[in-house]
Amino acid sequence: MDALTFAGNTLLILIAFTIAAAWVTARTARSKGYKFWLFFVLSVLSWFITAVVTIFLKPKGAVKSKARLSSVLMLTAGAFIEFGALSSLPLLDPAMTDEQIIDALMAPSASGSLVVALAGALLIVAAVANDKRATS
């Protein structure tokens, strides 16, 4: 696989993940009584922050409500996995060319770190989906 194909595929995966994460976050916020499109747009801008906010949101009209422990634990584990994997990526020199950067990220250890980071991000999205409230 050449460098341009790798970069293009990575970009498409990132866009697809962002849209899917935004959809899950907005759907969970809607189940708690908040506006779907507001949370969708906010999640497209920053899906991680919006995911954390959505998990800790109280449903509208609920006097006492706590975040589900399983969602909080999944969020915490996913964040540790994702940011731990991202921290193990190789250090890139600012003087490197674009091709050198893509080649460094195509290395097996870097690709493995990116896959583990994606797994952590999917665990965070699963925590948000787990927090969806049943509609009555």
Give CA–CA dist 37/117, Å, rounded: 27
Task: Specify if 136 maps to a domain.
Answer: no
135 in a structural domain: no
pLDDT single digits (tens) 76-121: 999 999 999 999 998 889 899 888 888 888 889 898 998 999 999 9
Q: Is residue 57 part of a domain?
A: yes
Largest separation between any pair of C-alpha atoms in the chain:
58
Q: What is the tens place of the pLDDT at every residue in 62-78?
A: 778 788 899 999 999 99
- 76 occurs within a structural domain: yes
Contact partners, residue 95, CB within 8 Å, separation at least 6: none
- Residue-level pLDDT at 42: 95
d(CA 76, CA 63): 26
Q: Is residue 54 part of a domain?
A: yes
pLDDT-based confidence at residue 41 (cuts at 50, 70, 90): very high
Helix (H, G, I), strand (E, B) or coil at 94: coil
- Number of independent structural domains in the chain: 1
Q: Is residue 29 part of a domain?
A: yes
Domain region containing 81: 3-130
The C-alpha atoms of residue 7 and residue 19 are separated, in whole angstroms, by: 18
